[in-house]
Structure formats: C-alpha cells, structure tokens
C-alpha cells in the first residue's frame, strides 16, 4: 500500500467532516419527515400532573427526555413536530418567492425598456419597506395560519431574487450565444429559459440557501408574536414565546427550541457560504 493511500483517506474524511452543516440539515429534515415515528409521544397530549417537569422526568411509564411544558406536553415531541413547520414554511416560501423574483428579474433584465423601469421600480418600493414590518402588517390583515405565513414571507422576500436575477441577466443577455439565438428567431421566453436561466442558477442557489435560514427566523418570529401557525400546533417560535414566561423555573421550554433554531439557521448559512465560495472559485 502506498503512503499516499492513508493521506487520501484522511483527506476524504476531512472533506466529509467539513460539510457537517449539510449533515446537520439533513438530520433535521429526516426528523421532520419521520416525526410520527421519532416522537416518543403525541405532541398535543396534555398531562397536568406532569407539567413543568425537568428533563428526564418519568411519569406513567413515559420519559420526558427534554422535560415538559406548562400543560404537561412532551418538549421533545413538540420539538420534532415543530421542525416540520419551520422547514416546510421555509422551503415553500423560498420556492414561491424564488419563482416570482427570478421571473420578474429576468424579464426586466432581458426585455429592458419600460418593462425594466416598471418592474425594477416595483422592486425598489418593496425593498424600501422593512421586511419584518411588511410581514407583520400583512399577516395582521390576512390573518395567521400556515398558508398565510408562506404567502406573506414570499411577498416580502421576492425582491431579493429579482435583484440578483436582474443583474445576472443583464450580464448574460449580451453574450454571443444569446445574440445568435435571438438572430435565429428564438422567442424571448425560449431565450430566457434555455440560454439565460441555466447560466444564472448558481448565484440564485446561493441566495436561496441564505434566504432559507432567514425564512426560518421570520416564521419563528411571527409565531413568537402569535401571528404564525396557531396553537396547539407545535412551532419553535410559539414554544419560545411560551418558554420566556418560565425561564426562571423551567428553562428547558425555551432553551431547546432556541438551540434548534440556532443550529438550523447556522447550518443553512454555512452551506450558503460554502456554495458561494465554490461558485466564486468556479
């Protein structure tokens, strides 16, 4: 065996470990997908005799590994089911805002003229309004709920994608292969879909990854304020809101959801930074 073999194995192991944020995010996704099988209890089942019990408490043959909340519900089970809300809201809002923003940005960058002026001024208007303020006002008007939260987050964040898509489209639209396609009679829709979009996917993917973590925080913030997914549905933001009232006597109610949010957002942001470095070097 050559001396290079151990070095190659060490390099592969180090490379795999360097992607620990992706493994962490993958583990959280698995927890959300298989919540009914992983959660030790029904997340909404109340047991007032076991309320505010510390992690490791056992009652009626059931172990509360991360303690119980003010209604005697298992914190671990609610944490696992809460991952479903945070991840699903983040994924759907990123997809919806990405589709709208990329479409607007590419149309403005390719068509130019009055279309560019109107669309980009609309983007400027949305960007001038604080995103969280716009989200709170919109949810207050539409009402709280899972679907409304997704719509609100998509409404507040699509301009970020539009800006990036617009700048990238301006750079690609003047390339020789795009000019040749136009000269051969290709329609604007075909040029955008076949020649421009594949060449700007990289930067858009970086934006989507970073926006994913922000969507998680926005959803948690809205739920914390009572404007997100409504009780008794488990949500990390609502668990934090409840836990703040018991920090002195039951620290675990707020600590574990806060830690889960921290790890999820950290992993998403680190993946985004890693992708940005890879694309920049490429």
User: Is residue 98 within 8 Å of residue 91, measured between CB atoms?
Assistant: no
* CA neighbours closer than 13 Å in the CB half-sphere of residue 129: 17
Residue 17: predicted pLDDT: 59
pTM of the model: 0.86
**Can you list the domains of the chain with their CATH numbers?**
69-74+83-281 (1.10.3720.10)
Per-residue pLDDT reduced to its tens digit, 129-153: 887 788 888 887 888 888 888 988 8
| 106-117: b (≥16 Cβ within 10 Å) or e | bbbbbeeeeebe
160/74 Cα distance (integer angstroms): 39
111/195 Cα distance (integer angstroms): 15
- pLDDT band for position 212 (50/70/90)? very high
Per-residue pLDDT reduced to its tens digit, 82-120: 999 999 999 999 999 999 999 999 999 888 889 889 999
Which two structure tokens, joined as six digits, stand for 54?
A: 């510390």
Per-residue pLDDT reduced to its tens digit, 33-46: 998 999 998 998 88
185/246 Cα distance (integer angstroms): 67
Angle value at C-alpha 267, between 266 and 269, nearest 5 degrees? 65
User: Is residue 46 within 8 Å of residue 15, measured between CB atoms?
Assistant: no
């Amino acid at each position: 065996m050559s001396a290079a073999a151990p070095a190659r194995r060490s390099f592969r192991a180090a490379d795999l470990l360097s992607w620990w944020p992706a493994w962490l995010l993958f583990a959280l996704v698995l927890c959300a997908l298989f919540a009914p099988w992983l959660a030790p209890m029904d997340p909404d089942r109340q047991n007032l005799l076991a309320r505010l019990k510390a992690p490791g408490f056992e009652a009626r043959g059931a172990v509360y590994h991360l303690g119980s909340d003010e209604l005697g519900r298992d914190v671990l089970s609610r944490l696992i089911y809460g991952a479903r809300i945070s991840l699903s809201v983040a994924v759907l809002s990123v997809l919806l805002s990405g589709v709208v923003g990329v479409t607007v940005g590419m149309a403005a960058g390719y068509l130019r003229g009055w279309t560019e002026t109107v669309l980009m001024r609309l983007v400027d208007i949305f960007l001038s309004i604080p995103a969280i303020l716009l989200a709170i006002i919109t949810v207050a008007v539409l009402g709280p709920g899972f679907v409304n939260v997704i719509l609100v987050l998509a409404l507040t964040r699509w301009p970020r994608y539009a800006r990036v898509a617009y700048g990238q489209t301006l750079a690609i639209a003047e390339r020789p292969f795009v000019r040749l396609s136009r000269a051969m009679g290709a329609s604007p829709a075909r040029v955008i879909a076949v020649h421009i979009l594949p060449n700007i996917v990289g930067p858009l993917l970086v934006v989507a990854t970073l926006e994913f973590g922000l969507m998680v925080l926005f959803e948690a913030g809205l739920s914390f304020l009572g404007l997100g997914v409504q009780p008794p549905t488990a949500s990390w933001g609502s668990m934090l809101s409840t836990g703040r009232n018991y920090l002195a006597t039951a620290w675990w109610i707020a600590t574990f959801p806060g830690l889960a949010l921290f790890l999820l957002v950290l992993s998403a942001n680190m993946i985004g930074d890693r992708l940005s470095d890879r694309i920049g070097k490429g």
